[in-house]
A and B are shown apart, each in its own frame.
Chain A
Amino acid sequence: MNDPASVNDWLRTMLFLPPQASTMAESIDHLHMLVILTTMAGSAAVGLMAVFFVIKYRHKGPQKAERDRAPTTPPRVEWALALGLFGLFFGLWVIGFMQFVRLRVAPPDSYDIYVTAKQWMWKFAYQEGAHSITTLYVPAGRPVKLIMTSRDVIHSFYVPDFRIKEDVIPGRYTTLWFEVKEPGVHDILCAEYCGTNHSTMRGQVVALDAADFARFLGRGLDRTATAAPFRQEPEVATSLGPSAPMSLVRLGQQVAAQQGCLRCHTLDGTPHIGPTWAGLWGATVPLKGGGRVLVDEAYLTESMMDPMARIRDGYQPVMPTYLGRLRPAETAALIELIKSLAEVRGQEPMQATLPHADETMPAGAIGQPPPQPAQPLLQHAPAPPGEPAAASQGLPPPGAVVMPAPAGHVTVGPNGPVAPNGPVGGAPPPGQPPPLVEEAP
């Protein structure tokens, strides 16, 4: 057991690879080592063969034409070499592809953080309402999914210690996930050239243990006076006050009311002009003109920005575009709102009272029905990532944190939805530290 680890460390040092801070880093590095060693062996073998031939067949004396009549190397040697190489490359590709899929598809129970990039800084928004600039706080030992967009040009979110990189593109969302093994600090680098100060667009990932992370979220909520609010224009600051922080779900409710989304979309499954948002997230819906689409961040964003692109079957193409009317944070908030309604089943009466209070997920929601089927078939197979740890620390599971009151309770008032102030399902109300934090070591 000790030996492979030291070989791993030795090779990692020889190849100048950074620390393997994420759960995926080590297996990626193993493929890296295999590929690089093969590369070096291959080029050395070809080089040595050439040198050997030169020494053996070095020209001496006058040219002898007859010598050439000796047969050339038979083509089957080349065929065998080429086939063998293709087998080798194909094998590398298979391993790389499988890793790639695991790297790209987040486990369903990941903790989501919204990332907005702009020239030349990173902004991070957490579901509980906290946010940070330049420094990304994540819980260690738990999968974290970043849902990223850019406000201006293409950037790329790169953490060398995690071996991950994903472009951050204006006008669409890209995602990326990782699980940090242990608390620590890691560099974030922008890897897509984005203008004059590209090279200074750096940040840090600070991985905290569960208790510290909960404390950070709590402090983030407390620190309202210094943190920049999502919305700075006074006319949209609404009744919550200009600097009150709010969870993304609540912000989403507010945006939905202000932008008139709720004139056509309902939150409780009632049929209306547009598709209801209840139970919409993660569903696969039929499209007008054939085909089906999975409702995920990408489809929702497209539907907001380019509603005519893919119309859901059975609905009229009447929705206006919200391109330029919604900011990235607002789009994210709407998506979070729709996500939070994923478990709300349609056709429930408006006046139902707290029908879901018991259904909201218990801590450690492993057995829950597939809440985010965005990744069918491609899940990270050995996947108990961090959930027990989070549960033992008393943290609510990620889904539960953002579960709002069931849709039946949302009544839309003139100032936006009057929803219960805090998320249900075990999360503390904002403004208070999570109750179990104090118990943490």
Chain B
Amino acid sequence: MARRPTLLIVDDEAQILSALKRSLRREGYEIVAVESAAAALRVLDERPVDAILTDHKMPGLSGVQLLARAAERRPDAVRMLITGWTKEIPRERLEEVGICALVTKPWDDAKLKATLRAALAPASPPAGGSDTRDPSSDYSLRR
């Protein structure tokens, strides 16, 4: 059996982290929760990570800055942002950093789970080429 996917979640608010852990408890991920970008970078250096879900406005490095550095260290890790400031980040910047999902706070549990499932699904070839998912069912960014 394949190992459980590792999800790194980053937010300067402990309560957000514990609520996220609660939401994703039954999703079968190995969740690593840290409260700063600096701690997240340490985790990235120490162990494999399949996906990163980070807050944007944090003391020190912002979420986008963290993801930009994560892209250098772990280019394969899926990069996702969870923030209340979705409108403030230029779309080009999101593309530049290769961010594949933008989760708005407060988040919808079902949509969050769907987003992560889609992001962490085994890299199956895009069968038929067309994306049949309902665009409103998750937070994924589509071009």
Q: Please say whether chains A and B are actual partners in one complex.
A: no
Residues of B whose CB lies within 8 Å of any CB of A are none
Residues of A whose CB lies within 8 Å of any CB of B are none
